[in-house]
Amino acid sequence: MANMPGQQRTEQTKTPTIKNSYVYGDGSTTFFTNMMPTMMGFFVFFFVFLISGMALLKERTSGTLTRLLATPVRRSEIVFGYTIGYGVLALIQSTIIVLFSVYVLNIEVTGSVMLLIAVSVLLAMVALAFGLLMSTFAKSEFQMMQFIPVIVIPQIFFSGIIPLANMATWAQWLSDILPMKYAANAMNDIVFYGSGWSGIMGNVLILGVFLVVLLGLNIFGLKRYRKV
């Protein structure tokens, strides 16, 4: 049976209804919101790297480290002592940055805030060891500041804040040897997808390897200053 003219007009006026559902955030979520987990990690890395590097450099230029190395104290004990001492400050600083981002800037965290703090503290310890290592090569505060464009700035650009798939092959390889990439991956998984320890364990283990290697290089690096 042929359709009546009125029925055809009714079918033509029907329009599909589109419904949006969000896994994370809402309609007001912007690109800058997506950047925030990586930016949290970057600020943790930057401030801890700068403070730890400047602190040990001051110890060395003032002669305190030289006198300490003249004693029977082992180089490993000196490195672990500095790491523990400044590690407490790194813990406090990392916690403040994460809590400020979550509760003041209202960053929505799908997963555990405590897990996010734990990853930030681990990243801070890596930055601490990195800063201590770089301070052994710097002869002044100005020279230490010159390490920032070489060591710190690439951390943000190759951390995934710009899609790595769009970069050249050499840039993707470079990102594989930078700790910020793995910290950013872990923090994004916690914030956006609510991942637990099992979901971020791979990135956490790699950060742990970075920490162990950097501590070993610090112990070896102090050998050049030991007089006896």
Q: Which of 54-63, 111-120, 125-134, 141-150 has the highest mean pLDDT?
A: 111-120
Is the residue at 25 inside a domain?
no
Residue 73's CB: how many other CB atoms inside 10 A?
A: 11
What pLDDT shows up at residue 154?
83
pLDDT tens digits for 204-225? 999 999 999 999 988 887 776 6
Give the burial string for 182-204 (b: 16+ CB within 10 Å, else e).
bbbbbbbbbbbeebeeeebeebb
Is the residue at 8 inside a domain?
no
Length in residues, the chain: 228
Show the domain range for 44: 37-225
Give the chain as a DSSP string.
-PPPHHHHHHHHH--PPP----SSS-TT--HHHHHHHHHHHHHHHHHHHHHHHHHHHHHHHTTHHHHHHTSS--HHHHHHHHHHHHHHHHHHHHHHHHHIIIIIS----SS-HHHHHHHHHHHHHHHHHHHHHHHTT-SSHHHHHHHIIIIIHHHHHTTTSS-GGGS-HHHHHHHTT-HHHHHHHHHHHHHHH---HHHHHHHHHHHHHHHHHHHHHHHHHGGGG---
Task: Give the pair of three-digit tokens for residue 7.
Answer: 């029925």
The structure's pTM equals 0.81
Is the residue at 178 inside a domain?
yes
pLDDT at 1 over 70: no
Is the residue at 21 inside a domain?
no
Is the residue at 148 inside a domain?
yes
What pLDDT shows up at residue 77?
85
pLDDT tens digits for 3-50? 555 555 555 556 677 776 666 555 566 667 778 888 888 999 988 888
The arithmetic mean of pLDDT across residues 47-59, rounded, is 81
The arithmetic mean of pLDDT across residues 48-72, rounded, is 78
Is the residue at 63 inside a domain?
yes
How many domains does one find in the chain?
Answer: 1
The arithmetic mean of pLDDT across residues 56-80, rounded, is 78
Is the residue at 22 inside a domain?
no
Task: Give the pair of three-digit tokens for residue 82.
Answer: 């500095």
Is the residue at 162 inside a domain?
yes
pLDDT tens digits for 81-108? 888 888 898 899 999 999 998 898 888 8
